[in-house]
Each structure stands twice: as structure tokens, then as C-alpha cells.
Structure 1
Amino acid sequence: MDWKPFWKIVEEAYRPDPIDHFEALKERLDGLKWFEVIEFQARFDEMVAAANHIDLWGAAYLINGGCSDDGFRDFRVWLVGRGRHAYEAALRAPDTLADILDGDPVDGFGLDAAALRVYEAKTGMSDFYERLDREEKDAPPPPPEGADWDFEDETEMKKRFPKLCHLYLVPADEKDEIVEGD
């Protein structure tokens, strides 16, 4: 599958609600032939892998209030699901994510399984991953690209992601007000 149809499917499927997003992506993929569904997944996986950068992980950590290895993969799935413009902008400068976020955490909600579900429904077969030829499916993910840094360092976070920090870092005095106001 070429990149243009890949991104068109992704962008047409986007919905703010994660469940609606998943269902809309399945609907778009349902219009493809079974082998195109596999090609779509291969492209999707390429984009998730290409976003394996330490600064994106730092942004995910800030946005979601922490971020494990699996959580970072889910974050990258979410990022691909937001479409080409948001994806490419975030790869260049993760702080641009503040332009599309509202202060809530994000989750890919299994978008990377939409193609699998559509393939199984179309073919009745369970050989999706074999056809995808995903050798690395059981291998641990490679370490992210970039120099490691401390995601717990608030000063460093503010330096790297000033706009995201404005959305996601609540000053201590405001946290006290939130707790007292509940």
C-alpha cells in the first residue's frame, strides 16, 4: 500500500472518542481486499516503529502521567491514528502535540488491532501475523532513539516541552485547590 492511501484511511477514520475511532478504522479497512488490509497493517507498524524516539517517550510520560514500554507503544499507536500532519509534526517537535491535545491523557485503544479484526472477519482465518511476516512479534522492542534523560526532572520537561507542560503540569498550589475543592 502506498503512503497516500494509507494516510487517507487513517485520517478519514479519526474520531475523538477512542472506541468510535477504532470502529471507524475497521469500517474503512472493511472496504479493502484482504491483502490490502495486511499491507495497511505493515505500513501502520512501520509508522509506530519510526516514532520510537526518546523525546516522544518523554512527551508520552508527561501527557499520560507516566509511561511504561507498553504504554509508549500505545501512545505511538495513538499518534499514528491522529494522522500524517500530527504524526510528522510530533516527530520533528513533540511539543507540537499541545496543539491537538486538551490536557487529558491519550490511548491508542487497540487501533493497531483493527486490521487484524477486519482480516479475520473477511477471511475466517487466523494467519494474519504469518501473512504479515512479522518476525519481531515476540522480540522485545528496540530501545528508543536519542539520548536518555530523566522524565521525572520537571525543569528538563519544561525546557523540552513548554506548551505540553502548560497543559499537563499542574502547580503544587493548584493541586491542593483541586483536592480541597472535591
Structure 2
Amino acid sequence: MNSAEFWKFLERSAEETTDPARRLDWLAYRLNRVSLEHIADFQVHLEAARRPLDTYAMWGAANQIMDGLCSSDGFWYFQPWLIGQGQRWWQHVAQNPDNLADLPAVRALAGRSLWERADAEWPHWEELAYVASSAYDHITGREDSLYEALDARGHRPYFDPAPIDEPWDSDSLAEIEQRLPRLMRLFPRQHYVKP
């Protein structure tokens, strides 16, 4: 599975259904019917797609959408959600985190409190990170067998955010206004921010 096939596979799941749980079922069903090599490829491409998103700039943008409540786990789960939006949106947002303001799934959250958001709307998709591992383990009958296979390929997965840019204060109104003006207009925060 090359990168183009990875994106096509992921986007096909969105054509089948927009419900995250059903998409996951669709992906799991299909991954259980391809070679172990293709399953490992899927995981490698998923992790490669994370890299350009794993920045403090993107974390700050996710934090803005989540009203200042984006923990490291929340950011880790946000990344596969963003990848799940498809290659076009992934590329657009990776260029500039403030471009999240263009994403229909993000715009649908604007003007609503955290408590008014349905679970399926929440910008996280933790389970996508584990779908390949589950399929691999199911086929081999061994737990963590995907990570053994990736290690044999010389691929070292990572399991937590490891931002590659300079940190900034995503709770500072001045910093948010400067870095994320469009997201700030969509998601103004009165709480949890410093002047």
C-alpha cells in the first residue's frame, strides 16, 4: 500500500458513512482482508500523516476549538481525526493551522458550547490509531504483533505528541489573535485564557 492508496482507502470509508464508529468498522473489515504487509503499510502511512500535524501551532489550534481544554491526549486523538477528514483537508490544514477555520466539520462546531456537541462531532478519533494493530493482531493471533513487524522493518512508532516547532502560549489572547485570527473569530474564548 503506497501513500495514494492509503488516502484512497481512508477516504473510501468516509464515502460509506460519516459516523466514526461505522467508518472504523468499515476500515477494520477491509484491513482484515488484506495482506499483513498492507496492514503495516497503513500504520506507517497514518503515522507519516501525523508528523506535519504534530506541532505546537496545531496543538494551539486544536486547543482553540476545544475551548482551552486540549490535553496531550486530546491532541493525540485530534491528529487522526484531522487525517480522517481526507487528504485535501489534511494538506490544507498542515500548511497553516488557522486553515482549520475552513474545514466544514470545524465550522459546524462554531457557536456551540462543548456540552452541545455530539460525540460523533467531537474532533477526536483515537480508534483510528489502533485499527491496523487490531487487524494485525486478529490475523496473527498475537497481541502487539504489528509493532514487532514494524520494528523488524526499522520503523519506530511513536505514541505521544512530540511537537517539532517552538512552543507558544496557546492560552494567551494576544498570541491567539496573532497566530489564529480566523479560529479566534469562530471560537472566541472568555474563559481559560490569559490577557
Q: TM-score surpassing 0.5? A: yes
Deviations along 1:71-94, one digit per CA (max 9) or x if unpaired, are 211111111111111111111011
Task: From the two aligned structures, give the one with the greater helix fraction.
Answer: 1
Work out whether residues 61 and 151 of structure 1, in 8 Å CA contact, stay in contact via their aligned partners in 2. Answer: yes
RMSD: 2.2
Is 1:145 aligned with 2:164? yes
For the residues of structure 1 that align with 2:180 and 2:33, how far apart are their CA atoms? 39
Tell me the distance in 2 between the aligned counterparts of 1:49 and 1:83.
15
Q: Which ranges of structure 2 fall in alignment gaps of 5 or more residues?
A: 110-116
TM-score by length of 1: 0.81
Match of 1:125 in 2: 142
1:60 to 54, 59, 62: 62
CA distance, structure 1, for counterparts of residue 100 and residue 80 of structure 2: 14
SS of residue in 2 equivalent to 1:98: helix
2:6 maps to what in 1? 6
C-alpha separation in 2, matches of 1:54 and 1:121: 35
**SS of 1:70's equivalent?**
helix
Matched residue type, 1:99: D
Alignment check: 8 A CA contact 2:75 2:161 kept: no
| Aligned-partner SS, 1:7 | helix
Task: Name 1:176's counterpart in structure 2.
Answer: none
Q: CA deviation at 1:136?
A: 5.0
Aligned to 2:185: 166
Correspondence list, 1:41-52, <5 A? 41-52=43-54
Counterpart residue type for residue 99 of structure 2 = T
The residue aligned with 1:88 is: 91
C-alpha change, 1:28 and 1:168, in structure 2 (3 Å) is farther
Q: Which residue of structure 2 aligns with residue 73 of structure 1?
A: 76
- Provide closer, same or farther for how the CA distance between residues 56 and 13 of structure 1 changes in structure 2, counting only shifts above 3 A: same
Structure 1 distance, partners of 2:50, 2:33, is: 23
Distance 2:90 2:179 in 1: 18
Question: Aligned match of 1:24 in 26, 30, 37?
Answer: 26
Count matched residues.
170
- Residue identity over aligned pairs, in percent, reads 29
| Partner residue in 1 for 2:114 | none
Deviation of 1:57 (Å): 0.7
Change (3 A) 1:136 1:118: closer
Alignment gaps of 5+ in structure 1? 173-182
Shift of 1:171: 5.7
Alignment of 1:102-121 (within 5 A): 102-103=108-109, 105-121=122-138
Measure, in 2, the Cα distance between the counterparts of 1:137 and 1:161.
27
Q: TM-score, normalising length from structure 2?
A: 0.76
